[in-house]
Amino acid sequence: MSVILEAVDLHRHYPLPREGIFARRRHVSAVNGVSFALEEGKVLGIVGESGSGKSTLARLLVGLEAPEKGEVRFLGQRISGLGDAALRPVRHQIQMVFQDPFGSLDPRMRVLDSIGEPLDVAEPGLAPEARRERIIGMLERVGLGEGALTRYPHQFSGGQRQRIAIARALITHPKLLIADEPVSALDVSVQAQILNLLLDLKLEFGLSLVFISHDLGIVRYLSDRVIVMQNGKIVEEGETEALFSAPAEAYTRQLIAAMPKL
Amino acid sequence: MLKVTDLSITLGSITALRGLNFAIRPGETLGIVGESGSGKSITALAIMGLLPKVMRASGRIELEGNDLLALDESALCRSRGRRMAMIFQEPMTALNPVMPIGAQIAEGLVLHGIMSRHEAAEEAIRLVGRVGLPDPAARAHSYPHELSGGQRQRAMIAMAIACRPALLIADEPTSALDVTVQAEILALLKEVREETGMAMLFISHDLAVISKLAENTLVLYGGAAMEMGETHALLAAPRHPYTRGLIAAIPSGNAHNTRLNPIRGHVPELAKLPPGCPFHGRCPLGDERCRIERPAPDIAETTAWCHHAGAHAPLAPLGVTS
Amino acid sequence: MRRALSHPSFMIGVVLSAAILAVALISLVWTPYDPGQMRIIMRLKPPGADFWLGTDQFGRDVVSMLMVGTRNALMVGLVAVGLGLTAGLVLGMLAARFQGSFLDEALMRSLDFVFAFPAVLTAILILTFMGPGLANAMIAIGIFNIPVFARQARGAALQVMAQDYVRAARLAGCGTFSILRRHVLPNIAGLMIVQASTQFALAILAEAGLSYLGIGTQPPNPSWGRMLNDAQTFLSRAPLLAIFPGAAIALSVLAFNLLGDGLRDLLDPRLKER
Q: Using the beta-carbon criterion (under 8 Å), do C170 and A84 form an inter-chain contact? A: yes
pLDDT of residue B311: 55
pLDDT in tens, A190-203: 899 999 999 999 99
Out of A92, A95, A103, the one facing C165 most closely (by C-beta) is A103
Report d(CA B216, CA B225) in Å as an integer.
Answer: 13
pLDDT in tens, B205-214: 999 999 999 9
| pLDDT beyond 90 at A87 | no
pLDDT in tens, B13-62: 889 999 999 999 999 999 999 998 899 999 999 999 889 888 999 999 99
Averaging pLDDT over each range in A167-176, B79-88, C52-61, which range is the top one? A167-176
| pLDDT beyond 60 at B71 | yes
Q: How confident is the model over B152-174, as a mean pLDDT?
A: 93
| pLDDT beyond 90 at B269 | no
pLDDT band at B310; cut points 50, 70, 90? low
Cα distances (Å, whole numbers) of residue B287 to B243, B265, C89: 18, 16, 58
Structure-derived torsion over alpha carbons of residues A15, A21, A23, A26, reported in degrees to the nearest 10: 0
Best interface-test mutation with C: which of A65, A108, A115, A176 has the largest number of C CBs within 10 A? A108
Are C93 and C182 in contact, with CB atoms under 8 Å apart? no
pLDDT of residue C137: 87
Best interface-test mutation with A: which of B205, B260, B270, B318 has the largest number of A CBs within 10 A? B260
Out of A62, A64, A84, the one facing C175 most closely (by C-beta) is A84
pLDDT of residue C39: 81
pLDDT of residue C265: 82
pLDDT of residue B184: 92
pLDDT of residue B314: 43
Q: Which chains touch A (3 or more CB pairs under 8 A)?
A: B, C
Angle between helices A128-141 and A158-170 (to 10 degrees): 130
pLDDT of residue C273: 41
| pLDDT beyond 50 at B316 | no
Phi-psi map region of B200: left, alpha, beta (phi>0 left; psi -120 to 50 alpha): beta
Give start and end residues of each alpha helix (H) in chain C: 2-5, 8-29, 62-97, 102-116, 119-130, 134-161, 164-171, 176-179, 185-212, 224-233, 240-267
pLDDT of residue B317: 42
Report d(CA B62, CA B49) in Å as an integer.
Answer: 12
Out of B209, B245, B260, the one facing A221 most closely (by C-beta) is B260
Residues of B in contact with A191 (CB under 8 A): 249, 262
pLDDT of residue C48: 78
Q: Which chains touch C (3 or more CB pairs under 8 A)?
A: A
Q: Using the beta-carbon criterion (under 8 Å), do C186 and A108 form an inter-chain contact? A: yes
pLDDT of residue A19: 63
Distance from CA of C196 to the nearest CA of A (A): 21
Report d(CA C182, CA B97) in Å as an integer.
Answer: 38
Strands A208-213 and A43-48, by their bridges, are parallel
Q: How confident is the model over B134-143, as a mean pLDDT?
A: 93
pLDDT in tens, A60-79: 999 889 999 999 999 999 99
Q: How confident is the model over B294-301, as a mean pLDDT?
A: 91
Q: Using the beta-carbon criterion (under 8 Å), do A49 and B178 form an inter-chain contact? A: yes
pLDDT of residue C269: 54
A3-258 to CATH, choices 3.40.1380.10, 3.40.50.300, 3.30.930.10, 3.40.50.150: 3.40.50.300
Q: How confident is the model over B249-255, as a mean pLDDT?
A: 86
Closest of B167, B305, B171, B285 to residue B228, by C-alpha: B305
CB of A104 less than 8 A from some CB of C: yes
Which stretch of A134-148, B103-117, C113-127 has the lowest confidence by average pLDDT? Answer: C113-127
Q: Using the beta-carbon criterion (under 8 Å), do C174 and A121 form an inter-chain contact? A: yes
Residues of A in contact with B266 (CB under 8 A): 157, 159-160, 190
Instruction: Enumerate the domain spans of chain C.
Output: 2-25+60-273
* Residues whose CB falls within 8 Å of the CB of residue C162, separated by 6 or more in sequence, listed in order: none
Q: How confident is the model over B90-118, as a mean pLDDT?
A: 89
pLDDT band at B281; cut points 50, 70, 90? confident
Distance from CA of C50 to the nearest CA of A (A): 55
Residues of chain C with pLDDT under 50: 272-274
Interfacial residues of A (vs B; Cβ cutoff 8 Å): 49-50, 157-160, 187-193, 195-196, 199, 214, 216-218, 220-223, 240-241, 254-255, 257-262
Distance from CA of B87 to the nearest CA of A (A): 20
Q: How confident is the model over A78-86, as a mean pLDDT?
A: 84
Q: How confident is the model over A135-159, as a mean pLDDT?
A: 91
pLDDT of residue B25: 93
pLDDT of residue C4: 74
Q: How confident is the model over A232-256, as a mean pLDDT?
A: 95
Are C43 and C58 in contact, with CB atoms under 8 Å apart? yes
Q: How many CB pairs under 8 A join A and C?
A: 66
Report d(CA A28, CA A10) in Å as an integer.
Answer: 15
Q: Which chains touch B (3 or more CB pairs under 8 A)?
A: A
pLDDT of residue C263: 86
- Which CATH superfamily groups domain C2-25+60-273? MetI-like (1.10.3720.10)
Residue in chain A closest to B249 (alpha carbons) equals A192
pLDDT of residue B226: 95
Q: Using the beta-carbon criterion (under 8 Å), do B251 and A259 form an inter-chain contact? A: no
